[in-house]
Amino acid sequence: MDILSMDARAQAAALENGDLSAAELMDATLARIDAVNPVVNAVVSLRDGDDLRADAQAADKAQHKGALHGLPIAIKDLANARGLPTSMGSPLFAGQVAAQDDVMVARLRAAGAIIIGKTNTPEFGLGSHTFNPVHGATYNPYDLTKSSGGSSGGAAAALATGMLGIADGSDMMGSLRNPAGWNNVYGMRPTWGTVPSEPAGDMFMHQLATSGPMARSPADLAMLLDVMTGADPRQPLSTEGGKTLEGIDTAPKGLSLGWLGDWGGAFPYAEGITEISEAALQQMAGLGHRVEALAAPFDADAMWTSWTDLRSFAVAAGLGAAYADADMRPHLKPAAVWEVERGVNMSASTVQRASAIRSDWFRKTTELFASHDVLVLPSAQLWPFDVEMVHPAQIAGRGMDTYHRWMQVVVPAGLIGLPVVNVPIGFGANGLPAGLQLIGPRGSDAALLRLAQQWHGVTQWPQKRPPSL
């Protein structure tokens, strides 16, 4: 078997028992990157090959460090990895080399992962389409004229093509879920707070974004998530995540799945999205689960207002200093300027109102989860679009009034920090992949992964339908 087609869990086991060496895995990884990356452009800031081979040889001689010992990984270019540039896709930070690892990256390194470079992302992670003026666009490996999604588009494309076996991503507005769906892989947004962010700046107010794992199987998601999670005593809102790999192969029985559809017509879908989603749900019903179509449980417009206000408030906190600098502001892309200008001019009462709406929606979900184990929505409202496009202007004839309205379907889970696993569900008539969001209550990460692993056992979409590159 091609060692790059193996699950990362299988690679890790082979490395630990001596059936595979880290040097062999690194050689294969670099060969795949050399063959594929020039046309996909998913891995950026790749380290020197001789240095990486030396690291792999050292891993073969070293005592086993942890679950990821000897596995190559590239870090999303929004996070700091010691010795590598963190451009965030912006010319303002191009070439800026990180002096130390972010918390999450340090955990991966401590578990034995070999960090080989970075994965591409949109500028500052804004917009679910991976292109930027520093590294260019990442192309969808299933159609090189299409977007790979984002903001973890580089990670998703690298997984789909076998350049990586596991990858980190981050998710504020579907940045793990959309690219996973569009690249026929798995991506997980974990319960908010279980994967700590950096203990810097304000640590109380901005509860939207989180890091999480991406892979070609849910078991690999669990293996990586168990390394990433765990409270950080320096961060007041971080929480202990449960171990998710143990019991991953125990198939759940008789779950109740609530299909939220198009949210009562609030979410326009491109032709074929509803059909492929409902076909996947029927297949899940065939596994012994009960699927029920639900009416819209909350006002979509109110939720959107809450989301856009809280998001702009958070983005302004991160990019406000760059916007205030007359020399830096011209280098911010229009979406960033729009977010910051909304955020810095926002009143305290507007933020309070947005948080109150968020609280109302969370209370409503406790009612939904009293009768349903999992809520389900598509990963995206349309198929991968032209890579040259900045963002879609319309879906099914309905105009998009912001640069991110086309991703409204990911807001219900992201707004209140619920765990979500994206599962691939096959391909449309256009040959492009799609996915579903499996959404659970806070703390249900392990249960969601078991459902996803059960699905993977009967579908294995990433293995059955890899890209032809």
> 367 Cβ partners below 8 Å, 6+ apart?
none
Under the banding of pLDDT at 50, 70 and 90, the label for residue 1 is low
Element (H, E) at 307: helix 300-324
Joined together, the tokens standing for residue 150 give 């984002």
Residue pLDDT, tens place only, 330-342: 999 999 999 999 9
Q: What percent of the chain is predicted at pLDDT more than 90? A: 99
Q: Which of 222, 210, 270 is CA-nearest to residue 397?
A: 270
The pTM score is 0.98
Q: Is the dihedral of CA 77, 221, 65, 231 positive or negative?
A: positive
Indicate the domain borders of the chain: 3-302+347-464
CB 427 within 8 A of CB 150: no
pLDDT of residue 469: 87
> What is the tens place of the pLDDT at every residue in 69-122?
999 999 999 999 999 999 999 999 999 999 999 999 999 999 999 999 999 999
Q: Is the pLDDT of residue 465 over 80?
A: yes
Residue 55: is its pLDDT beyond 80?
A: yes
pLDDT digits (tens, 9 = 90+) for 172-195: 999 999 999 999 999 999 999 999
Residue 78: name the closest of 29, 134, 30 by CA: 134
Q: Which residues pair with 435 in a beta bridge?
A: 424
| Average of per-residue pLDDT values in the chain | 97
pLDDT band at 292 (very low <50, low <70, confident <90, very high): very high
Query: Superfamily assignment of 3-302+347-464 in CATH?
Result: Amidase signature (AS) domain (3.90.1300.10)
Task: Check whether 323 has a pLDDT greater than 80.
Answer: yes
Q: What is the pLDDT of residues 353-383, one digit of tens each?
A: 999 999 999 999 999 999 999 999 999 999 9
pLDDT digits (tens, 9 = 90+) for 442-459: 999 999 999 999 999 999
CB atoms closer than 10 angstroms to residue 286:
9
> For the chain, how far is it from start to end, CA to CA, in angstroms?
18
Reply yes or no on whether the pLDDT at 347 is more than 80.
Answer: yes
What are the Cα distances from residue 169, in Å, to 15, 103, 120, 155, 226?
24, 14, 10, 7, 15
Give the residue-averaged pLDDT of 47-61: 98
pLDDT of 255: 98
